[in-house]
Structure 1
Amino acid sequence: MKRFFIGSLAVVGGISLLFVAAIVGLAYLAASHRPGVPDSVVLELDISEPLREHVPEASLTSAFGEHAPTVRDVVDALERAGEDGRVKGLLVRLEGPAGSTAVVQELRDAVKAFRSRGKKAWAYADTFGEGTSATGTYYLASAFDAVYVQPSGDVSVTGVGQETPFARDALVKLGVKPQMGKRHEYKAAVNTFTEQTYTEPHREESTRYLTSIFEQMLRGVSEARGLTPEQVRAALDEAPLTGARALELKLVDGLLYRDEVLAKVKDTAGEGVKRLYLEKYLERAGRPHTKGPVVALVYGAGTISRGRSESNPMSGEDTLGGETVAAALRKAVEDERVRAILFRVDSPGGSYVASDTVRREVQRAREKGKPVIVSMGTYAASGGYFIAMDADRIVAQPGTLTGSIGVYGGKMVTAELWAKLGVSWEPLGVGKNATMYSSSLEFTPEQHAKNEASLDRVYEDFTAKAAAGRKLPVEKLREVARGRVWSGEDAREKGLVDELGGFPVALRLAKEAAKLEGEVRVELFPKEKGTAEVLADLLGERRGDNSDDVEAGGSVAAPLRPVLARTQALYRLAVRLGLVEERQHVLAAPVPDTTW
């Protein structure tokens, strides 16, 4: 009987081994028959909406199906394609804005590097703006070898501007009283609620920021199109332009429909050339930087809050959880393979405490011999700058909105609004300041003084730590602080940024800091999750009790976005009016609604 039992186990074990071998064999066979990259190919990319900086791994979107390419996806794909002899060119259809100034500049750099390898790049749009400005879209297109627009299309390069809402009088009518403090005069985030027009400092910083962006765009277009800055400025002042007039002014190379553009691309690239979407190419060819010593890539994207990173389906915004990002930095430090950390920051700020939690981990990484290089995206302002300022080196695009070293805080008193609606909130508390943060009561003079003292403390701490991190005298640092935002170009002049550029520049600096030569492997921290882990996170399950294992939280699935879109704007307004409670964000910069 015993022999029979042992024999049965042996048979079962053998069958199991054969089953596993069969599965492995089938997987290998499937992989070997996956479509590859054609021998002669032109990559295609359609841009219809702004590219995202980062898609959290723990999301329905990442678990099921494909997501639109991120900024890094495009940059990596073009870097890989530049070295790939099979790739003959790149065709990008621009249906909408690619993103902020910094994102456009990151893509322009990638396109120029791709072209420097002898590859061709074509940009096509049915129209650059239709009743709206498309200056940013055209700014991206100008980096290509050739720019085409449909004969019926326009080239609406009208310049760079912004609109800021001021709701002081409306709040008075509604019965909402802002009790907000700020440090200092340039900290304009609260002006929407406390002013009815621009203050002089607000106007000054906004005008300078827009001027810096305009000058960068002017230089970029003139260099790319072989025109003088005066010619480009004159064209912008004349815009919106018809396609025919843009052709006369040498802003475009032809008035062609899509089929005609494709025919021209085929003629240039050669007979037998295939077309392949850029995201498919990246999937098949793989990313660059996959061999050698490890450089950890950690993302700090979104509004900063305490706790875990997550996506709010009501506001439609991602949050940078201090706990999540700090854990990712610790993991990178603990991994013996990691020689340096590339910290990609894309945040307008948020919680002071959470920002300091992340900053401390950057500091600890350096103390343990792991250099940290920050690469700034669209913005790294206020709390976003706070988490970056202790890095070994800081890299920003010329158009990155950065700085805003300042603080604001307080509350919205909504008692009168509720009274108009027939609702009476009656706070009760035990303790002198138990109801200090109630939106039904105004601050007492003593409570107001406490709020002001708190702002002073945070500002003093922020500027002192920024001065230490940037190795600047505190007095000099405070001259460029005061809550003021700067373009990345201006921030470099002020000593807040070390170099201008994007991912490639930051990676070069990371290699230099770690004394690495040759190839390196860029590895994302935290590591990607499988579908089962993603679903477990989304369902609220937590695996393990080690806080160092905290990773990014969930994101709303793409099919739900249309349903939520109309409620998100109302929700954000309610938050700003104090009708919905949310974590207090005191290190936050105004994010201008820039049109270009």
Structure 2
Amino acid sequence: MRFRAAGKLTVAFAETFGEFGAGTVPYYLATAFEKVYLQPSGDVGLTGVSLEQRFVKNALAKVGVDYQIGQRHEYKTAANTFTHDHMTEAHRESLTRIADSVVEQIVAGIAEGRRLAPERVRELIDGGPFLGAEAVHAGLVDRLAYRDEVYDEVRDEGDHLLFIGRYAKGVLPKKLPHPGERVVALIHGTGQIRLGRSGRSPLGGGGAMGSDTIAAAIRAARRDDAVKAIVFRVDSPGGSYVASDVVWREVVLARKAGKPVVVSMGDLAASGGYFVAMAADVIVAQPGTLTGSIGVFGGKPSLGGLLERLGITSESVDVGANSGMFSSSRAFSEQQWERVNAWLDRVYDDFVGKVAQGRGVDREQAHELARGRVWTGADAHAHGLVDELGGLEDALAIARDRAGLPKDATVRAYPRMHPLERLRPPESSEDKAAALAQVRLEAWGPLAHLAAELGLPAHGPLMLPGWWTIR
């Protein structure tokens, strides 16, 4: 929209926005462009937002699997897929507000981009999906055309076509860094949060944010005299509580050293993702960012019934009353369940206390905003959990301003690593396959065991609920 507002020609082309299926999100993106073209055989799947949650409790019960899970508090629904067969009242309330908030953003964007009244956009959403000709008639697209016809039209406007990758290379800074240059450090934290180094997640689903890697990057930026501000880009559903606390501490130390820290939230900065962000001077989120989820859950599956049905027997030698506490072959004893709840209370109290400290509110206010509830960026901003709405560019501008740097001050990525170092294997003689298998089972406690055995996703104690599909 900023590019368009500058008077530049902006054209969006799509073969289809969902092949007579859901295509709300890609169409929303396209409406930021002045002209929207659609292939004649394409459709506009403008149908709204659907958040679907599946529950496997009854399926697990049929095979003799039971879950013992504690959570803090009612909105922390990450484990509900295993422990419930329906949405709780708090679960439905939270998802309904998230869906409403996302739709509000989509309606406002489409209304602005297509110059339609918001009420008309909502009517169109309820009438979708649309065939190509219907979309033109409704004002959702400008005309039907093939890709080559769109290219020809752009050329007729007097412009030439250039791949964005080639353009990006052409505008890279030509100057080399020089001694005494004042810079902004940019640190990316992406994926599930775990102890150790960043890399591919052992549980699948993309990268993992390693506390060692991120803490070292923040520490290096803090100690570098050339760095005057830090922008921490967070895109994470959460993960390990201890790993999140390691990163949180480094953010605190950077601020104590007098270096402004600005967090830029991506698609997700929830639970542990919010934990690592909450100590920053300024938190910037997109309106559609999913954040908050300030809470914790933990427990284990009990496979005793399943093992019995399969004719599998299990024996153990235990030295210590609770040495077999996390065995999936048996349920928690009353004493062990008390220890689980003590741990959950400790984690939640620490989380809420640090939210109160970082956001400048009292503990009761922080608790009301917490309770495990997930917020969109827009709602988090309204409740004071984030400071500004915007993207990475906005966060960099805030960091430069806070540090008293010029608007074009250099941005330097951290951690800084020599290209040859990237090729060096980890400093460990442990077999990689064995290490990954072990991490998969031990990464975040007993929940990972059943996930590994049943092929279900494993979660950390500070993790956003999964299996949401925005269509």
- The TM-score, its normalising length taken from structure 2, stands at 0.91
1:535 alignment partner, one of 418, 423, 436: 423
Deviation, structure 1 residue 280: 2.3
**Are 1:283 and 2:169 an aligned pair?**
yes
Match of residue 166 from structure 1: 55
Matches within 5 A, 1:372-383: 372-383=261-272
1:580/1:431 Cα in 2 relative to 1: closer, same or farther (>3 Å)? farther
- Over aligned residue pairs, what C-alpha RMSD do you find? 2.3
The answer to whether the 8 Å contact 2:191/2:235 transfers is: yes
Q: Deviations for 1:41-74, whole angstroms, at most 9, x for unmatched residues?
A: xxxxxxxxxxxxxxxxxxxxxxxxxxxxxxxxxx
Distance 1:294 1:233 in 2: 45
Runs of at least 5 residues in structure 1 that lack an aligned partner in the other structure: 1-111, 544-553, 555-571
Match of residue 589 from structure 1: 464
**Are 1:189 and 2:78 an aligned pair?**
yes
Matches within 5 A, 1:99-498: 112-270=1-159, 273=160, 275-286=161-172, 293-312=182-201, 315-498=204-387
Distance 1:485 1:161 in 2: 16
Amino acid in structure 2 at the alignment position of 1:590: P
1:581/1:189 Cα in 2 relative to 1: closer, same or farther (>3 Å)? closer
Distance 2:131 2:257 in 1: 59
SS in 2 for 1:189: coil
Distance 1:573 1:132 in 2: 34
Distance 1:268 1:115 in 2: 15
Match of residue 22 from structure 1: none
Amino acid in structure 2 at the alignment position of 1:516: L
Amino acid in structure 1 at the alignment position of 2:148: D
Q: Deviations for 1:199-237, whole angstroms, at most 9, x for unmatched residues?
A: 000000000001000011000100111100111111111
Q: Deviations for 1:220-272, whole angstroms, at most 9, x for unmatched residues?
A: 100111100111111111111011111111110110011111111111134xx
Deviation, structure 1 residue 120: 1.1
SS in 2 for 1:203: helix
Distance 2:117 2:285 in 1: 26
Amino acid in structure 1 at the alignment position of 2:422: V
1:470/1:196 Cα in 2 relative to 1: closer, same or farther (>3 Å)? same
- The TM-score, its normalising length taken from structure 1, stands at 0.73
Deviation, structure 1 residue 582: 10
Structure number with greater Rg is 1
The answer to whether the 8 Å contact 2:296/2:461 transfers is: yes
Distance 1:350 1:196 in 2: 25
Distance 1:276 1:128 in 2: 24
Deviation, structure 1 residue 115: 2.2
The answer to whether the 8 Å contact 1:162/1:595 transfers is: yes
Q: Deviations for 1:330-383, whole angstroms, at most 9, x for unmatched residues?
A: 011111100000000111111111100000000000001111000000111111
1:355/1:486 Cα in 2 relative to 1: closer, same or farther (>3 Å)? same
1:163/1:289 Cα in 2 relative to 1: closer, same or farther (>3 Å)? farther
Distance 2:170 2:40 in 1: 36
SS in 2 for 1:220: helix
The answer to whether the 8 Å contact 1:183/1:408 transfers is: yes
Distance 1:162 1:503 in 2: 27
Distance 1:313 1:462 in 2: 26
Deviation, structure 1 residue 277: 1.7
Deviation, structure 1 residue 587: 0.9
Amino acid in structure 2 at the alignment position of 1:279: G
1:287/1:278 Cα in 2 relative to 1: closer, same or farther (>3 Å)? farther
The answer to whether the 8 Å contact 1:289/1:519 transfers is: no
The percentage of aligned residue pairs carrying the same residue is: 49
Distance 1:459 1:156 in 2: 41
Matches within 5 A, 1:496-515: 496-515=385-404
Distance 1:587 1:171 in 2: 24
Distance 2:338 2:23 in 1: 47
The answer to whether the 8 Å contact 2:452/2:458 transfers is: no
Kindly tell me the number of residue pairs found equivalent between the two proteins. 452
Runs of at least 5 residues in structure 2 that lack an aligned partner in the other structure: 433-446
Deviation, structure 1 residue 505: 1.2
